[in-house]
Structure 1
Amino acid sequence: MLADLEYHYKSASAFDKGQGINKLVLAHETEIEEVNNIPCFFWGSLTEPYLTAKCWSTIAKVVRSSFGPVPAHLKDPIVSAGAGRLRFEGFSSCNGVYVRLDMMPDSVDGEFIASGTTNVDFNEPILNALNSIQKNEKVVLSVGQSDVRIATEKTRITEKKVALPARWIKGLTSVQLYLADMTKVFELTRLQAIQLFQSIPKTNAKGDFYVVNRTGKFVFSILPIVGTVRVGGIHRLRLLEGVLPLINTLEIYQSGDKQTCALVANFGKMRLTMAFSPDSYRGFSGEGKALDSMIVDLPTEYIHGINSLLKANETFDPTLISIENDIDFITMDSLTANLSSMGLLGFDLPDNQHFYRRLPFKTQRIASLNPRLKNAKTLIENGDIEIIEQRLDYIEAKVKGSGVLHKVIIADDNAKCTCEWFTTYQATRGVCKHILAVRINRV
């Protein structure tokens, strides 16, 4: 089992009221020393504090939820600051629901002191305070602690030990691959969205449901027909109910294989994205969708080079970067795939483009968190692969298993293996270690 990553907040996040101004200071922590030494990422006020507080509460509701066998425990979200915006991201404890709040430049009025991504402390007092914020109140926000912090000394300063789930790291490497494969199917008004959610079964219904447009009225149905969107684990959508009365529009997206969906709630100055794994018992971290992109190792200097070029939340345009930095397109394709599989790229559905993310943990952890990739490399190191036939677009091999030889055939982009993993999942959760080993060996 993968161990969580342990952090120590030097002080707890604080929320103080006084003289008509609320001061919210979010403590931050990361294992990247140069980032952790930054005293403050952002300092300023919220232009829509009531709406922001409701969205933050929704994020907290997601990360405190679990729809699978993993117990629900509150885990602190990560926040990216840069390019004039803030992004808060997190997963449910079971890793089957991904949530992100994109706060556009107009949603804050202040100074971005530094660019980066870090964990922030969402403790119980903060969550309780968020629910008390009213529409006409003023809220000053600080991500990290600054010499000019307004929070009073009445707040008790404590050192808080927290853990960033390893599943979150794996989830970040795969969820954006799902998002990048999605297309928008429906766009609903506020009234249509509320009517749609009213058709969610009152009990935790099992089986697939589908979003259906019936002459302008959207409902959930158990009948799959042309033009519908599949939703697995429909009860998970209730996480969005708290902000539905505040939205302008609700966009519904679907992946190319029609198994995964995402909802984007638009509020004008900010938007809340929530993506759902194919079923409530499946998490994004276990899908293995990124494994094919990790076949070619990315040199460390590439990462340092990109870090020097891009700031957190900057648009990642491979073509433009290629031209401006004289990088050939083949190398750029490989670089993009590797950055994606390491969680350094996120994907914005409405803008249909990637953005750069500086992670709050060391990138060398990524390979160690993919046991299939480690096992595939072990097969190569042990000489357990025998190539039977190989052509430009075809390869056949035998790979040693536990007391058995597995047959692997790769023809163009199609791959098959005789192992139990492939028989059970048919590559719906990423390729097996035997196919992965043959592909790596071929490279």
Structure 2
Amino acid sequence: MKVIEPLLLRAKGLRVWSDDESGASAWEIVYPEGTFFLMISPEVFRGFSGEGQLLRTLATPPPEATIAKVRAALKWQSQVDTEQLAKDIGASGSEVKAALGILGTRGLAGYDAINEHYFHRELPFDLAKVEEMQPRLGNARKLIEAGKVRRVDGASDPAKFEVDGTGTVHLVTLSDDGDSCTCPWFSKYLGQRGACKHVLAATLLMQDEESGSEDL
């Protein structure tokens, strides 16, 4: 908090939000023109991916070509019009929003949580280390590499997967109505901190299966 203390000297107001369940808080310093917005996680390791809410997008990103087109269209806008941008580059609105989320993790876009829109800004991130900062996603990939994830036969709507855990097998359900897992981590947070590694692993495997079907 000492980081923002000098910024308060010229401020005309301060707004604070907090979430009792997750422990996250948001601090908005209001100036005559513009604001400074800071979100804080209760532990350092939790903060980089927006409390885990972007992990699903990182696991199933839009085409890299779409991400590149969105990045090329960013010209320091204070508010990105996602609908217009989607029309300009010939992509869907959901793909553009996902691409902006990806660019956000790379330090190339920001999100205004007050007005609910993206804006262009660039932070000095080491892009090579972005995925290293997402241990859950890395652990999900390791589960697949170890052959510990498999689809339940006959389960397609919703899709169900078995994921080997430590001395047990977790059941993952992927559905448009919401994903779920029988692991203790999911039971504790119920998706509030994003997907668990088992849900991410199942999502990655299903994406690989669908990509293989399209190739055929």
Matching of residue 265 in structure 1 with residue 29 in structure 2? yes
Aligned equivalents of 2:111, 2:24: Cα separation in 1: 15
Matches within 5 A, 1:156-305: 239=5, 243=8, 246-253=10-17, 260-277=24-41, 279=42, 283-285=46-48, 287-305=51-69
| Superposed displacement of residue 373, structure 1 | 0.9
Query: Which residue of 417, 426, 432 maps to 2:181?
Result: 417
Q: Quick one: which amino acid aligns to residue 366 of structure 1? A: V
Alignment match, 2:212: none
What per-residue deviation string (whole Å, max 9, x for no partner) do you get for residues 205-242 of structure 1? xxxxxxxxxxxxxxxxxxxxxxxxxxxxxxxxxx58x7
Aligned equivalents of 1:364, 1:302: Cα separation in 2: 20
Find the structure with the greater CA-based Rg.
1
Matching of residue 316 in structure 1 with residue 88 in structure 2? no
Alignment match, 1:407: 171
User: Pairwise CA RMSD of aligned residues?
Assistant: 3.4
| Superposed displacement of residue 438, structure 1 | 0.9
Q: Quick one: which amino acid aligns to residue 268 of structure 1? A: P
Alignment match, 1:390: 155
The structure in which a higher percent of residues are strand is 1
Q: Quick one: which amino acid aligns to residue 26 of structure 2? A: A
Aligned equivalents of 2:56, 2:40: Cα separation in 1: 22
Query: Which residue of 99, 102, 110 maps to 1:335?
Result: 99
Aligned equivalents of 2:128, 2:24: Cα separation in 1: 29
What per-residue deviation string (whole Å, max 9, x for no partner) do you get for residues 89-136 of structure 1? xxxxxxxxxx6xxxxxxxxxxxxxxxxxxxxxxxxxxxxxxxxxxxxx
> Using a 3 Å threshold, how does the CA distance of structure 1 residues 323 and 283 change in structure 2: closer, same or farther?
same
Aligned equivalents of 2:74, 2:182: Cα separation in 1: 44
Moved over 6 A (4+): none
| Superposed displacement of residue 288, structure 1 | 2.1
| Superposed displacement of residue 258, structure 1 | 8.5
What per-residue deviation string (whole Å, max 9, x for no partner) do you get for residues 377-397 of structure 1? 2222333222224333x1222
Aligned equivalents of 1:398, 1:372: Cα separation in 2: 17
Given that 2:55 and 2:194 are in contact with CA atoms closer than 8 Å, whether structure 1 keeps it comes out as: yes
Aligned equivalents of 1:330, 1:354: Cα separation in 2: 13
Alignment match, 2:122: 358
Alignment match, 2:191: 427
Q: Quick one: which amino acid aligns to residue 243 of structure 1? A: L
Alignment match, 1:50: none
Alignment match, 1:12: none
Question: If the length of structure 1 is used for normalisation, what is the TM-score?
Answer: 0.40
Q: Quick one: which amino acid aligns to residue 72 of structure 2? A: S
Unaligned runs of 5+ in 1: 1-57, 63-98, 100-238
| Superposed displacement of residue 291, structure 1 | 0.7
> Using a 3 Å threshold, how does the CA distance of structure 1 residues 285 and 358 change in structure 2: closer, same or farther?
closer
Given that 1:293 and 1:341 are in contact with CA atoms closer than 8 Å, whether structure 2 keeps it comes out as: no
> Using a 3 Å threshold, how does the CA distance of structure 1 residues 254 and 323 change in structure 2: closer, same or farther?
farther
> Using a 3 Å threshold, how does the CA distance of structure 1 residues 342 and 351 change in structure 2: closer, same or farther?
same
Given that 2:70 and 2:96 are in contact with CA atoms closer than 8 Å, whether structure 1 keeps it comes out as: no
Given that 2:70 and 2:99 are in contact with CA atoms closer than 8 Å, whether structure 1 keeps it comes out as: no
Unaligned runs of 5+ in 2: 208-216
> Using a 3 Å threshold, how does the CA distance of structure 1 residues 429 and 292 change in structure 2: closer, same or farther?
same
Question: If the length of structure 2 is used for normalisation, what is the TM-score?
Answer: 0.74
Q: Quick one: which amino acid aligns to residue 322 of structure 1? A: A
Aligned equivalents of 2:32, 2:134: Cα separation in 1: 38
Q: How many residues align?
A: 205
The structure in which a higher percent of residues are helix is 2
Aligned equivalents of 1:429, 1:411: Cα separation in 2: 18
